[in-house]
């Protein structure tokens, strides 16, 4: 019980740590050492902070913990993808996915327990929304997954695309992004952080004005409001026109583009007419399109698209000079692929 009363410093920013150390009447450089220890050196126990000296370590140990979200199980796929199931408290489970590739590793993390958006093609959307994750729980997923990396020298990409709608947990997600991007700490360049949203327009507008701006991905999935209203119900609040308007105003540094995710669903949004309409909708924007053939998750009644239709869809976009990749689904055998994170 003693343990539960301690405050977890994973998730605390530099100012918070400075205030805590000032309260303990310790000099400012101690705060910087602790901050670097947590986020740059990824230390997990106060005993590892040898530079602090024993008396301070003991004081910190009595009051503060350094905890990552507790891992309940890790599922390993044939292709090397690992799905981490975390249990934050009884009944509150989230997931994160580690995807090793030749030149880089990617971690896909969650931002909420459950999701209120309820996209029709997404298994997570069937889970009740329970709560927002804290900043510590968001960065803690990255730190926990990184412990598992075989080659820490490889580039790390962070995609905020797991359970939950990140822009509906705006403040905690932004604090987490600032911590990840801080060169004195986790040092993940904002160019390697991607936030994916179902289309929360006020959140996109706010994000555009942030000092640290990650890459933006939009889970678009349809080319008419009628279809998008069914697939991504948040469209009833912010329709395609409003969403693309916000995207057009989004600041992009040189060589950065907005990613449009498009889950292809057999007979629903995979027609050549849709492909042409998509090209027209995105005209004039710096963008790329990721085509994601639907994963046939058990809880979903929708059909995967015909592989030929997927290629035809891609060709129409490429012929219109749009970068369009078909996303190879990784980890489908362990329910880690897009839309399959259901915390089972």
Distance CA 128, CA 116 (A): 7
Nearer to ligand SF4, 31 or 217 (CB): 217
Which residue(s) pair with 56 in the sheet? none
Distance CA 95, CA 99 (A): 13
Nearer to ligand SF4, 219 or 295 (CB): 219
Q: What is the SS3 assignment for 7?
A: strand
- Please tell me whether residue 118 binds ligand SF4 under the rule CB under 6 A: yes
Q: Are 169 and 112 in contact (CB under 8 A)?
A: yes
- Please tell me whether residue 233 binds ligand SF4 under the rule CB under 6 A: no
Nearer to ligand SF4, 297 or 334 (CB): 297
Distance CA 88, CA 72 (A): 9
The minimum distance between CB 125 and ligand SF4, in angstroms, equals 3
Position among 125, 214, 293, 305 found at the interface with ligand SF4 (CB under 6 A): 125
Distance CA 216, CA 204 (A): 9
Nearer to ligand SF4, 60 or 167 (CB): 167
108 is catalytic: no
338 is catalytic: yes
- Tell me which residues in 143-172 interact with ligand SF4 (CB under 6 A): 163-165
- Please tell me whether residue 231 binds ligand SF4 under the rule CB under 6 A: no
3-state helix, strand, coil in the chain (%, to 5): 35, 20, 40
Active-site residue identified among 26, 95, 146, 165: 95
- Please tell me whether residue 115 binds ligand SF4 under the rule CB under 6 A: yes
The minimum distance between CB 226 and ligand SF4, in angstroms, equals 18
Position among 9, 12, 20, 117 found at the interface with ligand SF4 (CB under 6 A): 117
Nearer to ligand SF4, 185 or 331 (CB): 331
Q: How far is CA 197 from CA 9, 100, 233, in A?
A: 28, 23, 13
For residue 284, count CB atoms less than 10 angstroms from its CB and return exposed for 0-12, middle for 13-18, buried for 19 or more: exposed
Q: Which residues are catalytic?
A: 95, 338
Q: Which residues in this chain contact ligand SF4 in the complex, by CB under 6 A?
A: 115, 117-119, 122, 124-125, 163-165, 198, 219
């Amino acid at each position: 019980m003693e343990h539960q009363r301690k405050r977890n410093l994973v998730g605390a920013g530099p100012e918070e740590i400075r205030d805590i150390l000032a309260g303990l009447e310790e000099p400012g450089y101690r705060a910087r050492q602790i901050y670097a220890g947590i986020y740059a050196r990824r230390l997990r126990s106060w005993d590892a902070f040898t530079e602090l000296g024993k008396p301070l370590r003991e004081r910190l140990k009595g009051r503060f913990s350094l905890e990552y979200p507790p891992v309940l199980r890790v599922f390993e796929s044939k292709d090397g993808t690992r799905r981490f199931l975390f249990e934050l408290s009884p009944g509150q489970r989230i997931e994160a996915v580690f995807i090793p590739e030749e030149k880089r590793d990617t971690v896909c993390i969650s931002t909420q327990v459950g999701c209120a958006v309820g996209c029709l093609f997404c298994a997570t959307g069937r889970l009740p929304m329970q709560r927002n994750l804290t900043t510590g729980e968001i960065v803690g997923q990255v730190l926990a997954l990184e412990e598992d990396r075989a080659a820490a020298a490889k580039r790390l990409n962070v995609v905020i695309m797991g359970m939950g709608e990140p822009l509906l947990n705006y403040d905690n997600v932004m604090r987490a992004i600032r911590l990840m991007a801080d060169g004195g700490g986790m040092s993940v360049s904002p160019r390697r952080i991607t936030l994916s949203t179902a289309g929360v327009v006020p959140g996109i507008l706010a994000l555009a004005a942030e000092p640290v701006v990650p890459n933006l991905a939009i889970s678009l999935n349809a080319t008419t409001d009628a279809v998008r209203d069914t697939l991504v119900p948040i469209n009833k609040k912010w329709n395609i026109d409003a969403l693309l308007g916000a995207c057009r105003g989004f600041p992009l540094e040189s060589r950065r583009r907005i990613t449009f995710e498009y889950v292809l669903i057999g007979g629903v949004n995979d027609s050549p007419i849709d492909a042409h309409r998509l090209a027209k909708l995105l005209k004039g924007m710096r963008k790329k399109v990721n085509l994601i053939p639907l994963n046939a998750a058990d809880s979903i009644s929708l059909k995967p698209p015909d592989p030929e239709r997927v290629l035809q869809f891609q060709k129409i976009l490429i012929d219109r000079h749009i970068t369009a990749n078909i996303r190879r689904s990784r980890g489908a055998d362990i329910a880690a692929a897009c839309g399959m994170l259901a915390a089972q």
